[in-house]
Every structure is written in C-alpha cells, then in structure tokens.
Chain A
C-alpha cells in the first residue's frame, strides 16, 4: 500500500467548464520524496487540496496512509502536514505562538517533536517574539514548515514552497527537505522550477491537468527521443530565426546562452550539416555540441509533442 494513492482523479471548476485535474493516477511510496513538476494551471494545487481533504474530487478515489480522502478525512487531517502555497499562518500571532498553537491543535507539544524541527527552528528562534506578519519571506517559509512538521506527520504536503524564492534560498530549502526525508517522512512537493526536479526520487511532469510522464528524473531524461544539441553563434537572435527555419530541426528553442536543437531523424552527420547551413547564413563563432537533455528539455518535448488543450484549463 502506497503512502499516497490516486486513481482516476478528476476535478472541474466553474460548473464543469474548467478541467483542472484530468484522470490522474499515481502512487507515492512510504518514505519517498515525490515531486509534481509543472507550471501554473497544471493542477498541482487541486491535487494537494484533494489529498489533504480540503476539496472533493468530481470522480476517482484517493487515499493517504490507507485512509480514503472522502470517508476518512478526519484520520487524514490528524496525521498529515500541509504547507499551502499561500502563507496561511496567523499574521498577528508571534512565531512561538503560531508554533505552539499548531502543536496544541494536534494534541502534542513543541518539546515532544523538537528534534524534527530543531535545525529549521533554530534559524528563526532569534525572532520568536516577532509577529508572523512581520517576518521576511524566507523566515515565513521556515515557520510554515515548522508548523507543518510539529506533529511529526506521516506525509508532508508542500505546495510550491520555493515559488518566488531566489536561487540560493531554493538550494537551501531542498537541502533541508533531503534531511527531512532521512527521518522517514513521505514528502509530496510541487514546483514550477524544472531544475528542482532532480532533487526528487520520482517526479510527475504535469501540464493542463494531465500527467505527461511519471518516473525517476534519470529515466525521464533517458526517455528523451533522439539526440539533443546545444548551438551557439555570435549573433544569437538571428541564429534562433535561422534554426527555426531549418527543415531538419524538429525543435529549437533558447536555453540559457545556447539554443537547444533536436532533429526529426537522427543522422550521424546532423551537426556537420547544421554547421554548413549556419555558415551559409554567414554566422560566425559557431559552436555545436551534443548534450544530455535536462528535465526541462523533456518537458518541452512532451508539451510540444502533445499540444493538448493548452488553454481549456485556465485556473487553479
């Protein structure tokens, strides 16, 4: 039995006109760090709210720790931890008051589970008499995580904990999750940042309410069809235009300082043919090198291969 299971979950809003979650099924194993990766509107928040029993699915079944989200919602509420995407603690209670409030709600004490939050709480402890509303974004995030952990949950749900957070703080947050995982807590986390996917054991790539792919990050990258090249030239903007007009290229898009190019049929001399084409367009400083695709490359590939109802599913 998985720690979290979903079977054919479907959720619509606005009297059925907006499809938010479209027949989603997956299982999270006990102790696993599982990521839902996708942009806004992918259906991540709806799934979190269904699993935390805050929202009912239109159809399908789901369980958390073996409890049904519909029938056994009370059992689920008392054992899981949930950190919503929007800061939801009491702004006019202090740091310490918020923490002891949540501990009391779950019939425990700060002392009982202090080990679990110690490392995180120590960073905000100097501000424990400050009202939560007066904290910086990073400190709010740490407090919210402490409050979600204080009853030693079996499953921790983190909805976009790193959105709007700078690159350095994001790395620190993921380091922290790695250490929590070692304590045996099952973690289900969502993020729109593709580069964070490799921090998870398994991921589901989501777009417009659907799962595009679900596997370990390594396998998802391995499933990339064909070879991928990184291309650079002195004039990048014209380069992109010329690559898009190149018939043999299946896709080409900007990726940092390079343009990533994939071909329709992988040929041994793809790169040489492309080099000649670009030289013919008077490009200078041409660099073409084969690269290993990233999760984002795979995501783009899946998205463009199945240009689903890109705009039927608008809101969360």
Chain B
C-alpha cells in the first residue's frame, strides 16, 4: 500500500493543460478539492469539462501542468488513480443485460472485493435502495432514476476516495433527482469526495463549492453563496449565464 496523501486534499491541480494540435481544450486550470467535499464542476458545452475529467481520472495524459488525484500523480500513477476513484456518467453506468446482482458482483469483482465483502455489500446496497424484489431483474428493465441510483452505489462499492459523476441526473424525474442527491450527501458524510457535473443549476446550489469553466479556463471558483454575491445574482443560473454567455467556442 502507498502511504496516505500528506494533505487532506482529494484533488490538487496546478495549471493543468491539454493541447490537441493547435486547440487548447483545457487551459491552465488550477484548483483543489478537499476530502469529503461536494464539488460542482460546471461549464458550457465544449468548455473542456470532459477533457479535464479524463485527465483527472487517469484516462488521458496532460500536455502540461501538475495534478494529483487521491495523492497519486496523473502522469506516473494512472493505474493507482483508477483503483482509488469511482466513475459514473449518464451515458455509461451499468450493463443493461446483466441483473442488478450480477452488475454488483461484476463491478465489485473488478475492484477486487472478496466474495465475503461482495455478499455483504450486495445485501447492504440492495437494502438501502429498496431493490429486494428487483435484485434478479435485468438492469435494462429499471426506470432511469433507479438505474442511476444503483449506478452511483456501484461506482462507490469499493469505497473510493473520490467519485466522479458526469451529468448523473440528466433526464431523471424531479423526485428521483433529489433522492440521488441524498445518496451524494450520504457518501460525502462518509468522507467520499464527490466531483460532479450537471446542467441543472439548482443542483449547483447543493455543492459545497463550484467551479465554472469557460473556453478551457476556470473563470470562477467559490461557494454558491459567494459566487452569487460576487456576481450580484439571485441564483446560480444567473451566475452561470453571466459567465458562459461570453464563451467564444462551442462544443
């Protein structure tokens, strides 16, 4: 085992940059996210969020700058990063043609849980989500909202230090969307850092801090309350609009 990171920062990045040819997708972003924090990573389409996230998840090498995730270096310790994070998105989360139980076993197995741990985790997870009757049904037959709640629980089945959530609530009904955030709060209470992107501006308010990317740069970073003060806005929707309408590039 590696020694635990010296600081209580889950993510630290300094002037992190990604260049594709003559296009600078991510332009010197600097931010740090505390262990257990709920961090909203916002930006217009094409602002560079996905590229930045891919670097932080150990899926793509930066062109310049430094970053550590869970204490591991994004250049040299990509595999370590992958073992210590969870990831879910709206697009890919679970295997539709496996049952709920099979998905749990599959992902738990990938993250190296023992059979004993797997049994305990499966039971705990199915009870928390109230899915006893559905445990042996195919994931494809579940409503999207249930699927997303299950996907989140599976993404943190190995108790990672950080979970990356890429538009986890897109298309989810307003009641289930709020239940999803209850799961995020519960994970944060257990010390898991939640790094989340969303197009729902009311959800930005549920974050401890929020960054807003415009054209590859982090243009604003603070708590929702402070951002609203700074931009003389009543809502995060207004803050976002003020910052992002000046964007030069599309997706």
B250 within 8 A of A: yes
B65 within 8 A of A: no
A105 within 8 A of B: no
Which residues on A sit within 8 Å (CB–CB) of B45?
136-138, 164-166, 169
A299 within 8 A of B: yes
Which residues on B sit within 8 Å (CB–CB) of A166?
43-45, 199, 244
Q: Are A137 and B244 in contact (CB under 8 A)?
A: no
**CA A207 to CA B174, docked complex, whole Å:** 11
A153 within 8 A of B: no
Distance from B178 Cβ to chain A, minimum over Cβ atoms (Å): 5
Mark out the residues of chain B between 214 and 251 whose CB falls within 8 Å of any chain A CB in the assembled complex: 224-225, 235-237, 240-241, 244-245, 247, 250-251
Distance from A183 Cβ to chain B, minimum over Cβ atoms (Å): 26
Contact with A along B75-107 (1 / 0, CB 8 A): 000000000000000100000000000000000
**CA A257 to CA B204, docked complex, whole Å:** 9
Contact with A along B57-79 (1 / 0, CB 8 A): 00000000000000000000000
Q: Are A168 and B251 in contact (CB under 8 A)?
A: no
Q: Are B225 and A168 in contact (CB under 8 A)?
A: no
Q: Are A138 and B146 in contact (CB under 8 A)?
A: no
B191 within 8 A of A: no
Q: Are A164 and B199 in contact (CB under 8 A)?
A: yes
A296 within 8 A of B: yes
**CA A42 to CA B174, docked complex, whole Å:** 12
**CA A311 to CA B236, docked complex, whole Å:** 32
Q: Are A168 and B174 in contact (CB under 8 A)?
A: no
Which residues on A sit within 8 Å (CB–CB) of B174?
39, 194, 296, 299-300, 303
Which residues on A sit within 8 Å (CB–CB) of B206?
254
Which residues on A sit within 8 Å (CB–CB) of B171?
39-40, 163, 192
The 4 A-B residue pairs with the shortest CB-CB distance in the complex, in nearest-first order: A39-B173, A136-B251, A40-B171, A256-B202
Q: Which residues of A contact B (CB under 8 A)?
A: 18, 38-42, 136-139, 163-171, 192-194, 207-208, 237, 253-257, 296, 299-300, 303-304, 310-311, 313-315
Pairs across A and B, CB under 8 Å, 9 listed: A136-B46, A163-B171, A168-B247, A170-B199, A193-B200, A257-B235, A296-B174, A299-B173, A304-B175
Known: A40-B144, A257-B235. 17 other contacts (CB 8 A): A39-B171, A39-B172, A40-B172, A41-B144, A136-B45, A136-B251, A138-B45, A164-B45, A165-B45, A193-B200, A253-B178, A254-B181, A299-B173, A299-B174, A300-B174, A311-B143, A313-B143
